[in-house]
Amino acid sequence: METYNPELGTSSMTMSFGTKPKLLFLFQGFAILMGLASALAALPVAALSFGFYGAAVFLGRIRPLRDAYGFLSRGYERVLDRLGQRVLRDSRDTPALRLMVSLSLTAVPIFVIQLVLGKPRLLLAIAFYFSLYGLKFQRFVRMFSASHLEAHRRQGYFSEKYDKVFGRYLEFFLGYLWEHSGTGPDGSCVSPP
> Hey, where are the domains in the chain?
44-181
Mean pLDDT score, 129-148: 80
Average pLDDT over residues 111-140: 86
Helix (H) or strand (E) holding 11: strand 10-13
Instruction: Tell me the three state secondary structure of residue 106.
Output: coil
The reported pTM is 0.65
Helix (H) or strand (E) holding 12: strand 10-13
Please check the confidence at residue 180 and state whether its pLDDT lies above 60. no
Note the pLDDT of residue 20: 58
104, 143 in Cβ contact below 8 A?
no
Per-residue pLDDT, 14: 53
Radius of gyration for the alpha carbons in the chain, expressed in angstroms and rounded: 24
Contacts 24+ apart (CB under 8 A), 134-138: 134/49, 135/49, 135/52, 135/53, 135/56, 136/49, 136/50, 136/53, 137/46, 137/49
With b for 16 or more beta-carbon neighbours within 10 A and e for fewer, the 53-71 pattern comes to eeeeeeeeeeeeeeeeeee
**What pLDDT shows up at residue 7?**
59
Mean of per-residue pLDDT scores for the chain: 78
The pLDDT assigned to 173 comes to 79
Lowest mean pLDDT among 6-20, 69-83, 172-186: 6-20
Let me know if 47 is exposed, middle or buried by CB neighbors in 10 A (0-12, 13-18, 19+). exposed
pLDDT tens digits for 25-73?
A: 777 888 888 988 888 888 888 888 888 888 888 998 999 999 998 999 8
Question: 92-122 pLDDT, tens per residue?
Answer: 888 888 888 888 898 899 989 999 998 888 8
The larger pLDDT score, comparing residue 27 to residue 23, is at: 27
